[in-house]
Amino acid sequence: MPGERFCRMLAFMPPLGIGVRLYSLMLCFLSAGSGEWFIRRVESCCRSRQGRRVEGVAIKLISIDDARSRVLAEALVLSVETLPLAEVVGRILGEEIVASHSVPPFDNAGMDGFAVRAVDIVDAAGDKPVSLHVLETIPAGRVATHALGLEQATKIMTGAPIPEGADVVVQSEATEERDGRVLIFEAAKRGKNIRRAGEDVEAGGRVLGPGSILGPAEIGLIASLGRPTVQVHRLPRVAILSTGSELVEVDRPLGPGQIHNSNSYSLRALCQQMGIEPTMLGIVPDDYDATKDMVQKGLDYDVLLTTGGVSVGQFDFIKDIQDELGVQRRLWGVAMKPGKPLVFGVHDRTLVFGLPGNPVSAMVSFELFVRPALLHLMGHANTVRPLYRAVMSENASNSDGRVYVVRVRAWREDGTWHVSSTGAQGSGILRSMVGANGLVFIPGGTRGVKAGETVDFLLLREDLQAP
């Protein structure tokens, strides 16, 4: 209705003083003709501004650790799905794997050579070889047709079953085959070069448990048990929405006051690095109703990431839209820079992140809060990268009360980690993330750190360790 639209516009005007605001709202009430509607709007306006810096009242900021704990408390592990074994690399196992048979299922040759009886070659030596009659040749995939008797041998290939009567395999390099016989030039103890049935996995044994990360070795082990499919926790369905009338897509020319939409692409790539292919909801302009419609659509996913509209500007109404749609807010504002105006809440089981619009702020917030939540949804036990100590290569001041998150290049030198800033650290300078393989945390309320002092840092990438 026109009155409601007008009231909504007033709700996002800069603070005018309580008297002027209530008077304006009363005009809306009169134009709308609904006392109940007027009360709802007043309550909504008051509720949406709790915690803002309104007329000198500051946002209540919480620590990085506290914010992450609140996020993880809402991230419930997702259900399992059954997938072909060829499609589960990097996924989290959702069932217990028990061996249906032993691996290997039979005693077999550990290398090419001759299967013999140890007692027959006990006196073999380089200058005094033992001669044995060769019964047959067994390639891998076939079994012997004869059992070994006194002074007999079977030529055998790696992986072929050990014939009955044999108790050792002499490698080819210590033998010489002549006219249906083989000369053995060294003695060998029983069991040498024989891989015993079940030495890898015994039938009925527990092979892998729920929560195991399925890498190449784990997948190969499951395959050795003849399992074509496996149950894994499903991947989160993630939606990404960029807000702001200034944004245009990368294939569009820039108009006056416009910038290209980089956040969607950075966040999409961060998801893809985790094996998640997000749904891109595109760009929505600074229009309340249009933004509300797109946020509503995003609530159908497991995780909704919006960028922009989370601060206290005239058109920053993501939080108000979340309130109207029933998103239960768990935090607004983290004592860190960049990334202070982070908003997080839940709607049923959907995790709703309102990320700052500045590109670096969005990426740092993803790393510190979204990534751990996604990992937890996927079933990972360890969701936070470990902290290391490093020597700072230059001075880094921090007179702010918030933790200063510095993008750095980290490298090891004589067993010690060293870190160096990637350059200008503004929250809109995306170039500071290029070449960065770590984040350094400078505590708030301190003088900062000087070159040569040690700091905490998070290693983001292993492949950029160079000064």
My answer on whether 440 and 425 are in the same domain is: yes
- For residue 4, what are the contacts with CB-CB under 8 A and spacing of at least 6? 28, 32, 37, 41
Q: Return the percentage of the chain with pLDDT > 70, whole number.
A: 85
pLDDT at 315 (0 to 100): 60
- For residue 54, list its beta bridge partners: 57
Distance CA 320, CA 299 (A): 15
Q: Per-residue DSSP letters for 198-215?
A: TSSB-TT-EEE-TT-B--
- For residue 305, what are the contacts with CB-CB under 8 A and spacing of at least 6? 238, 239, 240, 241, 267, 278, 353, 355, 366, 370
Whether 16 shows a pLDDT value over 60: the answer reads no
Distance CA 460, CA 155 (A): 53
My answer on whether 282 and 309 are in the same domain is: yes
My answer on whether 133 and 187 are in the same domain is: yes
State the average pLDDT over residues 453-467: 81
Mean pLDDT is lowest, of 18-27, 124-133, 367-376, for 18-27
Which of 324, 358, 377 lies at the terminal end of a domain, its last residue? 377
Whether 446 shows a pLDDT value over 70: the answer reads yes
Distance CA 278, CA 265 (A): 11
My answer on whether 191 and 89 are in the same domain is: no
Query: Does residue 44 belong to any structural domain of this protein?
Result: yes
Whether 437 shows a pLDDT value over 70: the answer reads yes
Q: Give the residue carrying structure tokens 């040749």.
A: 137
Predicted TM-score (pTM) of the model is: 0.81
- Judged by phi (left if over 0) then psi (alpha if -120 to 50, else beta), residue 93 lies in beta
My answer on whether 282 and 334 are in the same domain is: yes
pLDDT at 440 (0 to 100): 96
pLDDT at 21 (0 to 100): 45
Q: Return the percentage of the chain with pLDDT > 90, whole number.
A: 76
pLDDT at 465 (0 to 100): 60
CA dihedral of residues 279, 430, 243, 371 (deg, nearest 10): 40
My answer on whether 366 and 277 are in the same domain is: yes
With beta carbons less than 8 A apart as the criterion, state whether 128 and 114 touch. Answer: no
pLDDT at 435 (0 to 100): 85
pLDDT at 2 (0 to 100): 44
Residue among 206, 272, 207, 280 at smallest CA distance from 242: 280
Distance CA 436, CA 421 (A): 8
End-to-end CA distance of the chain: 61
In single-letter form, the type of residue at position 334 comes to V
pLDDT at 312 (0 to 100): 62
- For residue 25, what are the contacts with CB-CB under 8 A and spacing of at least 6? 7, 10, 38, 41, 42, 45
Maximum distance among all alpha carbons in the chain?
115
- For residue 136, list its beta bridge partners: none
Whether 319 shows a pLDDT value over 80: the answer reads yes
3-state class of 94 per DSSP?
coil
Q: Give the residue carrying structure tokens 């006194």.
A: 150
My answer on whether 320 and 349 are in the same domain is: yes
Distance CA 50, CA 331 (A): 12
Quote the number of domains for the chain: 5
**What is the CATH classification number for the domain harbouring 155?**
2.170.190.11
- Distance, C-alpha 112 to centroid of its chain: 44
182 HSE (CA, 13 A, CB side): 27
Query: Does residue 303 belong to any structural domain of this protein?
Result: yes
My answer on whether 277 and 354 are in the same domain is: yes
pLDDT at 464 (0 to 100): 61
My answer on whether 90 and 44 are in the same domain is: no
3-state class of 371 per DSSP?
helix
Confidence of residue 313 (pLDDT cuts 50, 70, 90): low
Whether 302 shows a pLDDT value over 90: the answer reads yes
User: From the CB of residue 427, how many other CB atoms can be counted at a distance below 10 Å?
Assistant: 20
Whether 397 shows a pLDDT value over 70: the answer reads yes
My answer on whether 188 and 259 are in the same domain is: no
Whether 123 shows a pLDDT value over 50: the answer reads yes
My answer on whether 245 and 372 are in the same domain is: yes
**What is the CATH classification number for the domain harbouring 241?**
3.40.980.10
With beta carbons less than 8 A apart as the criterion, state whether 116 and 184 touch. Answer: yes
- For residue 82, list its beta bridge partners: 231
Which of 185, 217, 233 lies at the terminal end of a domain, its last residue? 233
69-117 pLDDT tens trace: 999 999 999 999 999 999 999 999 999 999 999 999 999 999 999 999 9
Query: Does residue 467 belong to any structural domain of this protein?
Result: no
My answer on whether 170 and 212 are in the same domain is: no
pLDDT at 40 (0 to 100): 40
Q: How many residues does the chain have?
A: 467
Confidence of residue 38 (pLDDT cuts 50, 70, 90): very low
226-255 pLDDT tens trace: 999 999 999 999 999 999 999 999 899 999
Query: Does residue 315 belong to any structural domain of this protein?
Result: yes
**What is the CATH classification number for the domain harbouring 451?**
2.40.340.10
402-420 pLDDT tens trace: 999 999 999 999 999 999 9
Distance CA 297, CA 233 (A): 24
Which of 377, 409, 426 lies at the terminal end of a domain, its last residue? 377
3-state class of 390 per DSSP?
strand
Query: Does residue 326 belong to any structural domain of this protein?
Result: yes
**pLDDT averaged over the chain?**
87
Query: Does residue 125 belong to any structural domain of this protein?
Result: yes
Residue among 437, 433, 436, 444 at smallest CA distance from 459: 437
Distance CA 442, CA 456 (A): 8
- For residue 248, list its beta bridge partners: 260
pLDDT at 31 (0 to 100): 42
Domain extent at residue 120: 108-195
Residue among 275, 278, 246, 274 at smallest CA distance from 264: 278
pLDDT at 19 (0 to 100): 43
